[in-house]
Amino acid sequence: MKLTDNVLRSFRVAKVFRENSDKINCFDFSPNGETVISSSDDDSIVLYDCQEGKPKRTLYSKKYGVDLIRYTHAANTVVYSSNKIDDTIRYLSLHDNKYIRYFPGHTKRVVALSMSPVDDTFISGSLDKTIRLWDLRSPNCQGLMHLQGKPVCSFDPEGLIFAAGVNSEMVKLYDLRSFDKGPFATFKMQYDRTCEWTGLKFSNDGKLILISTNGGFIRLIDAFKGAVLHTFGGYNNSKAVTLEASFTPDSQFIMIGSEDGKIHVWNGESGMKVAVLDGKHTGPITCLQFNPKFMTFASACSNMVRNWALSSSE
């Protein structure tokens, strides 16, 4: 089924999960779309089965905490950042709940983590104003970039380049094979002192970059020229919360949750808002992602995950 304005408007909450006692800070769908994994401020990692619509198992990272959880290419391994004790990134086997490797180096909290879509490379950005490049097979940092401010970063869908958003005012594009030579393109944006950038994502077709902020707007830019195509607003975020914005897998639509628990959806080409979905969330929707393979998406506020599917009338 193709995603259209009407199809998006007909999504309803199919399932609500209340596995957590504290805020869910991140979740990630497996590449095959069959599972979704969440990390929470209650130090738990919950694995959900998307096809059966139920939690499969819960693991804990009580000593170090857990944040920014990401699947690797192996279905049963993840990497995540710590939010207690230290700022080391951990590589965990879900199968036997054992750490495979640690990635030390950052000296302040990790605020961005992105796995290459094609190999074992990943990048991390930290409040220590660095971006580090890693390989899952080695504990040693493969590359280090010093920046002027807090970074957000992400790989493109081909895994050939990555983008770094710096100081909430510029996007720098790096070639993975020669990133030490500096960025091959820099796009300077109009600086908005009312908010800061909190996330950066490429569309699946690699043509667009979505910049999320802790203000009341998100920006869609051309990944080749850096031109701002649309600025989407009209949703509530008065408390400057980090809200996750996402593309649909076909790169056509952009969605973000709001602090009043509603999800706003825009058409990326026309820039028009096509839907406002009410999931009856009790607080800000901090996590929001579309399943890469199936016609469902998930949203999370505070300590609840909601799984959305097409309503049966469609």
Strand ranges (DSSP E) for 61-137?
67-71, 77-81, 89-93, 98-103, 110-115, 121-126, 130-135
φ, ψ of residue 243 to 5 degrees: the values are -105, 135
Q: CB within 8 A of 4, min separation 6: which ones?
A: none
Q: How far apart are the first and last CA of the chain?
A: 11
Q: In which domain, by residue range, is 187 found?
A: 5-309
Q: Is residue 205 part of a domain?
A: yes
CB 210 within 8 A of CB 198: no
Report the CATH number at residue 262. Answer: 2.130.10.10
pLDDT tens-place values along the chain, 314 residues long = 799 999 999 999 988 888 888 888 899 999 999 999 998 888 889 999 988 888 899 998 888 888 899 999 887 999 999 888 888 999 999 999 999 999 999 999 999 999 999 999 999 999 999 999 999 999 999 999 898 888 999 999 999 999 999 888 999 999 998 888 889 999 998 888 888 999 999 999 999 999 999 999 999 999 999 999 999 999 989 888 889 999 999 999 999 999 988 999 999 999 999 999 998 888 889 999 999 999 999 999 877 788 998 865 43
Q: Which of 24, 4, 54, 60 is nearest to 299 (CA)?
A: 24
Distance CA 30, CA 88 (A): 23
Q: Is residue 135 part of a domain?
A: yes
Distance CA 90, CA 47 (A): 17
Q: Is residue 124 part of a domain?
A: yes
Q: How many domains does the chain divide into?
A: 1
The encoded tokens of residue 140 equal 């040693």
Query: What is the total residue count of the chain?
Result: 314
Burial of 167 (0-12, 13-18, 19+ CB in 10 A): middle
Q: Is residue 314 part of a domain?
A: no
Q: Is residue 293 part of a domain?
A: yes
